[in-house]
């Protein structure tokens, strides 16, 4: 699990909830008309700009923001150096018996075992890496759109509430509910955009960037292994993918 995402998500809503409770009853901040306009309305617009498959898959995609299943670059480096050592010593066919948890790397190892050369491996995996980026950007765009549309629907709800209020100025009892719609739609739109959609979009983008780096690391490693390169040279080359802090830690451990 990605504890930073979980803790931040819970903490942000807890802080807002405490502020609400300190200001009065929770019921003051619940309005059915406002929820309908902002939540249902913004989701309907997101559906309009997306395919049905993308919209339905958005929930599962959001779950990736709360999980931490990506391999660390240093772990991948350790694995590919191990594979390079085995391939150099026993040949490519010896890689067939190796367990590889990373799906992208496992596919490339399979190509090495099948006798594919470096350019062929790079071409095939580059296409797959490109499609991963495309799918990731498409998912991020859904939540970015939601972050844009929710405040816009909040503004529409505000205008609806103001129209209702101004149309019934002679009835004091109707002014309160109309004003509630006007204000709460703006609040709901801001909450969805800034506390849900935008953080999820940015977290997914971070994960996509990390996965892209991992895949680039794998491709370069497999091309190097296919050429029969020295594992020590490979390790030194791949250290550039690590942050200076992690790199120094690994080098100190050698």
pLDDT digits (tens, 9 = 90+) for 4-43: 888 999 999 999 989 888 877 888 888 888 999 999 999 9
pLDDT, residue 168, reads 78
Distance in Å from the first CA to the final CA of the chain: 30
pLDDT, residue 253, reads 63
Q: What is the torsional sign of CA 42, 45, 50, 52?
A: positive
CB atoms within 10 A of CB 11: 10
Q: What is the pLDDT of residues 127-183, one digit of tens each?
A: 999 999 999 999 899 999 999 999 999 999 999 888 888 887 777 777 777 788 888
Q: What is the pLDDT of residues 196-234, one digit of tens each?
A: 999 999 999 999 999 999 999 999 999 999 999 999 999
The 3-state DSSP class for residue 223 equals helix
Q: Quote the CA–CA distance of 23 and 107 in Å, as a whole number.
A: 57
Residue matched to tokens 């609806």:
160
**pLDDT classification of 185: cutoffs 50, 70, 90:** very high
Query: Which range, of 19-28, 46-55, 68-77, 124-133, averages the lowest pLDDT?
Result: 19-28
pLDDT, residue 254, reads 57
Average pLDDT rounded to a whole number, residues 77-87: 94
Contact (Cβ atoms closer than 8 angstroms) between residue 125 and residue 220? no
Domains of the chain: which residue ranges?
31-72+120-253
Contact (Cβ atoms closer than 8 angstroms) between residue 142 and residue 50? yes
**pLDDT classification of 104: cutoffs 50, 70, 90:** very high
pTM of the prediction? 0.86
Contact (Cβ atoms closer than 8 angstroms) between residue 74 and residue 211? no
Task: Please give the residue that has the higher pLDDT: either 55 or 24.
Answer: 55
Evaluate if residue 192 carries a pLDDT over 90.
Answer: yes
Angle at which helix 244-253 crosses helix 73-90, to 10 degrees, equals 50
């Amino acid at each position: 699990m990605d504890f930073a995402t979980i803790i931040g998500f819970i903490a942000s809503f807890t802080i807002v909830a405490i502020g609400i409770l300190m200001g009065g009853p929770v019921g003051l901040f619940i309005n059915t008309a406002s929820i309908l306009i902002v939540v249902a309305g913004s989701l309907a617009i997101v559906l309009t700009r997306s395919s049905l498959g993308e919209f339905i898959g958005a929930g599962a995609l959001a779950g990736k923001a709360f999980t931490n299943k990506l391999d660390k670059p240093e772990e991948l480096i350790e694995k590919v150096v191990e594979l390079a050592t085995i391939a150099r010593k026993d040949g490519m066919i010896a890689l067939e018996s190796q367990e590889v948890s990373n799906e992208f790397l496992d596919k490339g190892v399979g190509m090495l075992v099948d006798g594919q050369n470096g350019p062929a491996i790079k071409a095939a995996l580059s296409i797959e890496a490109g499609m991963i980026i495309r799918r990731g950007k498409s998912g991020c765009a859904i939540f970015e759109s939601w972050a844009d549309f929710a405040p816009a629907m909040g503004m529409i709800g505000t205008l609806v509430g103001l129209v209702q209020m101004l149309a019934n100025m002679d009835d004091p009892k109707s002014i309160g509910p109309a004003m509630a719609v006007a204000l709460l739609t703006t609040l709901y739109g801001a909450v969805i955009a800034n506390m849900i959609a935008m953080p999820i979009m940015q977290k997914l983008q971070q994960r996509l960037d990390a996965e892209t780096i991992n895949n680039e690391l794998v491709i370069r490693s497999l091309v190097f292994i296919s050429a029969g390169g020295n594992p020590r040279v490979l390790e030194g080359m791949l250290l550039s993918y690590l942050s200076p802090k992690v790199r120094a830690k690994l080098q100190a451990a050698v």
